[in-house]
C-alpha cells in the first residue's frame, strides 16, 4: 500500500533508509566513536578474561610443603632437613629445641608432599578472589557506562527510515507522516 505524495500530488511515497547526517559528519562521528568502541571492547575482553580465570590453581607440591611449614612456625633449619630427607619420621623433629608441637602434623604432611612430588590443587587466595570480583565489577560498570555514552553517537550514524517520493524527491519523516 503506497501513499500519494502531498507535495507534488503525482508521485508515490516509498520506504527508504537514509543517513541522518552528511557523509563528512558520519565520518567524524565514526572517528569520535572509535576510542569508545575500542574501550568497550577492551572492557569486554578484560571482563571475560577475569571471569574464565580458574579459582583453583595447581602448585608444585614442594612449594606448598615449604609454605605450609613456614606458616606454622617451623624453623628454616628443620625445613632444610625435611627437604633433604622427606623419608625421615616427622616425630624426630619433636626433639628439636623450639620446634612447635602444633607443627608436627604439617611437617608430616609436607614430608608426604615432598615424597609424592605431584602438584597440589589450591584455591587462589581469598583477597585475590575479592580483587578479581572488584575488577570484574569495575570493567562491567565502565563498559556499560561507555556503551551508554556512545549510544547517541551510534544512533546518529545509523540509517533512519523515511518516505521518499519517486517523482519530486521529497523526503517525509515516517513519524510525521503517521501523525
171 touches Zn ion (CB under 5 A):
no
DSSP string, the chain: -PEEPTTTSSSEEEEEEEESS-HHHHHHHHHHHHHHHHHHHHHHHHHHHHHHS-SEEEE-HHHHHHHHHHHTT--HHHHHHHHH-TTS-GGGGGGSTT--GGGHHHHHHHHHHHHH---EEEEPPHHHHHHHHHHHHHHHHHHHHHHHHHHHHHHHHSEEEEEEETTT--EEEHHHHH-
170 touches Zn ion (CB under 5 A):
yes
Which of 167, 171, 173, 177 forms a contact with Zn ion (CB under 5 A)?
167
Nearer to Zn ion by Cβ, of 154 and 170: the residue is: 170
Contact pattern for Zn ion over residues 111 through 150, marking x by CB under 5 A: ----------------------------------------
Contact range with Zn ion by CB under 5 A, out of 11-19, 52-60, 75-83, 94-102: 11-19
25 touches Zn ion (CB under 5 A):
no
Which of 32, 151, 168, 171 forms a contact with Zn ion (CB under 5 A)?
168
Which of 8, 38, 122, 129 forms a contact with Zn ion (CB under 5 A)?
8
Contact residues for Zn ion, defined by CB under 5 A: 5, 7-8, 11, 165, 167-168, 170
Amino acid at each position: 500500500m503506497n501513499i500519494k505524495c502531498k507535495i507534488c500530488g503525482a508521485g508515490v511515497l516509498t520506504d527508504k533508509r537514509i543517513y541522518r547526517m552528511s557523509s563528512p559528519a558520519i565520518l567524524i562521528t565514526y572517528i569520535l566513536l572509535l576510542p569508545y568502541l575500542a574501550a568497550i571492547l577492551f572492557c569486554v575482553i578484560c571482563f571475560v578474561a577475569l571471569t574464565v580465570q580458574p579459582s583453583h590453581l595447581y602448585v608444585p607440591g614442594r612449594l606448598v610443603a615449604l609454605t605450609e611449614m613456614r606458616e606454622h612456625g617451623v624453623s628454616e633449619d628443620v625445613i632444610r632437613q625435611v627437604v633433604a630427607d622427606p623419608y625421615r619420621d616427622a616425630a624426630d623433629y619433636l626433639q628439636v629445641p623450639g620446634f612447635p608441637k602444633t607443627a608436627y602434623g604439617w611437617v608430616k604432611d609436607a614430608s608426604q608432599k615432598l615424597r609424592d612430588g605431584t602438584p597440589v590443587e589450591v584455591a587462589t587466595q581469598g583477597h585475590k578472589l575479592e580483587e578479581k570480583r572488584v575488577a570484574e565489577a569495575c570493567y562491567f560498570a565502565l563498559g556499560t557506562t561507555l556503551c551508554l555514552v556512545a549510544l547517541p553517537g551510534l544512533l546518529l550514524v545509523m540509517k533512519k527510515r523515511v518516505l521518499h517520493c519517486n517523482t519530486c524527491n521529497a523526503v517525509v519523516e515516517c513519524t510525521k507522516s503517521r501523525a
